[in-house]
Amino acid sequence: MILQEKVCVGRDPNDTALGVLLVLSSTVKKVAKYLNAVTKGVPTTILIDHSIALLLTKKICYIACINRIYCNPPLALTDCDCIAADRAVKYSLCSKRAGITISLESSPTSTPFPKQPPVQSTSSRKKSTSLDLTKKEHEKVVPLLVKFSESVWETESLTELHQFRPRESYFLLGMQNCILSNFLHISSLEMLQTLLKRYHWAFWDTQGQHLCDLILSQAIVIRESRRRQQLLQKRRREAKESEADEYSEDSISESELLPLPKRVALQPSSRPNTLTPQLNPRPKPRPRAKAKPLEAMWDVLDSYSAQCPNL
């Protein structure tokens, strides 16, 4: 129960509206026993949010109690009851003390019941991608976020500033759903901060880094598990085609689970490219002089006939 959301009853800023809190009488009795045990320092088995217990047992002003729990500024004014703060509408406890009867008329601009949202067609639904969590992965991640929510409450509720906050406000359910929808998309602290910015989380400075570390570490586990399953399916297909025994998961080495290395661009060679024209081509070699043709054999013999008459 988030009491701060009571302001949603006012559909128009010009309308006068009241928040209504419905509580069982048995719950009020349990709250009284709980506060009595807490005051005396006796351990109790009653599980209830301490801030809600304070509100349900308040006898002066509900609004002042809520403002004090949420530290709504300025506390000098919000901590006062409806009469001292001169609020436009005096709530139940204050109106009884002041003898005021509250009567509200329905606003002409509002409807008694909200209209049913239009049914989305199947074609407009978001298609699942590889970055979406599967059902089994979702079931494994949810307990981690619940445990983180409990750790935030155990840590931050010890501070004087936040000790009376409702337990659900330490880590809102909407934040958990938002993280689950974008779990594998989150890759940095800045991306997570942008994703949760609209929730105005009061504990980002102290718990944001812990939440990011939890998400990134679990994302690594999920990706490694997916990679292992892909390799195992590949081994089974290869074994089926070769009619061999199936490979077990233990046969997958750690090196196979590593991501494939990226190709490195080749460095340009220092050697000149002979296929492309050069700016300063080498000079062409000079052509050699043609050799004189050899003389005929009979001409050579005639040149020696004077010296060798026997030839």
SS (H, E, C) the chain: CCHHHHHHHCCCCCCCCCCCCCCCHHHHHHHHHHHHHHHHCCCCCCCCCHHHHHHHCCCCCHHHHHHHHHCCCCHHHHCCCHHHHCCCCCCHHHHHHHCCCCCCCCCCCCCCCCCCCCCCCHHHCCCCCCCCCCHHHHHHHHHHHHHHHHHHHHHHCCCCCCCCCCHHHCCCHHHHHHHHHCHHHCCCHHHHHHHCHHHCCCCHHHHHHHHHHHHHHHHHHHHHHHHHHHHHHHHHHHHHHCCCCCCCHHHCCHHHHCCCCCCCCCCCCCCCCCCCCCCCCCCCCCCCCCCCCCCCHHHHHHHCCCCCCCC
Half-sphere exposure at residue 224, Cβ-oriented, CA atoms within 13 angstroms? 12
What pLDDT does residue 311 have?
A: 52
Mean pLDDT, rounded, for 136-142: 92
Phi, psi of 300 (to 5 degrees): -65, -40
**Position 265 pLDDT exceeds 50:** no
What pLDDT does residue 10 have?
A: 45
Residue predicted with more confidence, 218 or 256: 218
**Position 72 pLDDT exceeds 50:** yes
Mean pLDDT, rounded, for 165-183: 89
Residue predicted with more confidence, 255 or 206: 206
Q: pLDDT tens for residues 40-66? A: 888 888 888 888 888 888 888 888 888
Mean pLDDT, rounded, for 144-159: 92
- Give the rounded percent of residues in the chain with a pLDDT score beyond 70: 65
Residue predicted with more confidence, 285 or 306: 285
What's the token pair of residue 252? 């997958």
19 neighbors 6 (Cβ within 8 angstroms): yes
Q: pLDDT tens for residues 13-34? A: 666 667 777 788 888 888 989 9
**Mean of per-residue pLDDT scores for the chain:** 76
Give the contacts of 10 (CB within 8 A, at least 6 positions apart): 16, 17
Please report, for the chain, the start and end positions of each structural domain, with discontinuous segments joined by +: 3-102, 130-234
Q: Is 200 helix (H, G, I), strand (E, B) or coil?
A: coil
**Position 273 pLDDT exceeds 90:** no
**Position 303 pLDDT exceeds 70:** no
Residue predicted with more confidence, 175 or 298: 175
